[in-house]
Amino acid sequence: MSNQFKISKYRYILISILLCAATSLAAQTDSVRLYPDTFKLQDMQTTSDVDLLLLDLVAAQSAELHANDTIDTLTYADIQRMDSIAREISYLDSLRAANEAQVMEQIAAEIPAVEIEKSWIKDAEEDRRDVLRAIREMKTPWRKEATLMLQVTQNYVTSNWYQGGSSSFAGLGIAKGQINYITERFTWENTGEWRIGGSTVSADSLHKVNTTDDLLRLYSKANYRIVPKLYTSLSAELETRLLPTYKSNSMDLKSAPFSPLRFNVGFGLDYKPVKNLSISFSPLSYKVIHIMDTARVSVTDYGLELGTQTQHNIGSSLRVEYLWKPVREVAIESKFYMYTNYRHVELDLEVNCDFIINRFMSARLMLHPRYDSSVIMTGDTHAKIQFRELLSIGFAHKFR
């Protein structure tokens, strides 16, 4: 009985020791890493079934701890790999953004901006045509434009009108075209214009219709950019008349076809500080005035000496051209020209104000003062300022 009690006592003591060991091992898992292969006491023949059960529990716990530790380690490695991938993605995104910015800059440089002008009356068709024109201009450096205007002024008065007066009719036709070649550094501008106008004058008994405007003008200018807004410039201009013009109640001609004919060539600089403004200065300018019909046209009316048909001049010239469009319906075009051969001076200012009524109707006001110190009319002692003004309304259309 006593021996059996002793064996049971030792067994409980052994179980208590094992439980304490297991508890101690579980408490030390933060500092001691347990693996299933650490304890293989099941090979010992002296252990009991309870001892094997306890050892299996300890081995399972250590295996779970090992598994959790492995998962934590793999998760950290995954985080590192994902961070590396994120950095690569960020780098690729930055490259893509930089490439997109470069492409957009290239597109902005090659594709001209479509400017829609301010308008009192909204016109979707005009806006659509502006966009289509800009798309066409992307394909070629050539720019083409033409304008046709036919305008009239009419006045009718009966013979018994209490205030008196006389009937009159005036007409004006203008055909103008431009063909320009425009690149980043080189521009070539070509303009052709023909104006023809006439009116009935009851006070003139010899002529039913008098010519009020007759001008054929061809102008060409080639520019090469030196620095932004400043160009070297070579320009040439030809002006002449195609119809005869008579003095009132006389058969004496004031002008005739190609009488006079003016031709200018200038070399210098062209400054364009803002859009639609050109300031051209030619310190070296050559000018020719030719009268073809010297028998019927007075050469002194154009600054030539009696007995001569052609005059050659070398001097300097200044030309200022500006187009201002506060709104789409109003366009004010001004041209100022000055020439001097250091003995005489010629000043010419032409201002044309076009008021667009709709796509096919417009009104025009023209102001044209002029001064030439070499032209002294018959009966005058010195040169005087010349001036003409015209107000008309009628058909106008622009082709692009």
Mean pLDDT of 130-140: 72
Per cent of the chain over pLDDT 70 is 69
Q: Is the pLDDT of residue 150 over 50?
A: yes
CB atoms within 10 A of CB 355: 15
- pLDDT given at position 10: 56
Q: Is the pLDDT of residue 285 over 70?
A: yes
Q: Tens digit of pLDDT for each residue in 173-212? A: 999 999 999 988 999 999 999 999 888 877 777 778 888 8
Q: Is the pLDDT of residue 256 over 70?
A: yes
Q: pTM to 2 decimals?
A: 0.66
381: left (phi over 0), alpha (psi -120 to 50) or beta: alpha
Q: Is the pLDDT of residue 34 over 50?
A: no
pLDDT: is 195 or 125 the higher one? 195
Q: Is the pLDDT of residue 92 over 90?
A: no
Angstrom distances, CA of residue 138 to CA of 97, 129, 134: 26, 14, 6
Mean pLDDT of 294-303: 84
Q: Tens digit of pLDDT for each residue in 316-336? A: 999 999 999 998 889 999 999
- pLDDT given at position 396: 86
pLDDT: is 68 or 241 the higher one? 241
Mean pLDDT of 308-313: 91
Burial class (CB in 10 A: 0-12, 13-18, 19+), 292: middle
- Out of 22-26, 197-201, 311-315, least confident range: 22-26
Contact of 176 with 156, CB cutoff 8 Å: no
Mean pLDDT of 103-130: 66
The token pair that represents 203 in the structure block: 């006070």
Contact of 304 with 372, CB cutoff 8 Å: no
pLDDT: is 400 or 220 the higher one? 220
- pLDDT given at position 340: 93
- pLDDT given at position 227: 92
pLDDT: is 253 or 23 the higher one? 253
Mean pLDDT of 150-179: 81
- DSSP letter assigned to residue 35: -
pLDDT: is 169 or 60 the higher one? 169
- pLDDT given at position 38: 39
Contact of 308 with 297, CB cutoff 8 Å: no
Q: Is the pLDDT of residue 30 over 50?
A: no
The token pair that represents 137 in the structure block: 């201009």
Q: Is the pLDDT of residue 284 over 90?
A: yes
Q: Tens digit of pLDDT for each residue in 347-383? A: 999 999 999 888 788 899 999 999 988 877 766 778 8
Mean pLDDT of 144-156: 86
Q: How would residue 97 be classed by pLDDT, with cut points 50, 70 and 90?
A: confident
Residue type, 125: E
The rounded distance, in Å, linking the Cα atoms of 98 and 86 is 18
Number of Cα atoms under 13 Å in the Cβ half of residue 278: 22
pLDDT: is 307 or 163 the higher one? 307
- pLDDT given at position 313: 92
Phi/psi of residue 58, each to 5°? -65, -40
Q: Tens digit of pLDDT for each residue in 221-248? A: 999 999 999 999 999 999 999 988 887 7
Task: Give me the chain's average pLDDT, please.
Answer: 78
Mean pLDDT of 131-152: 81
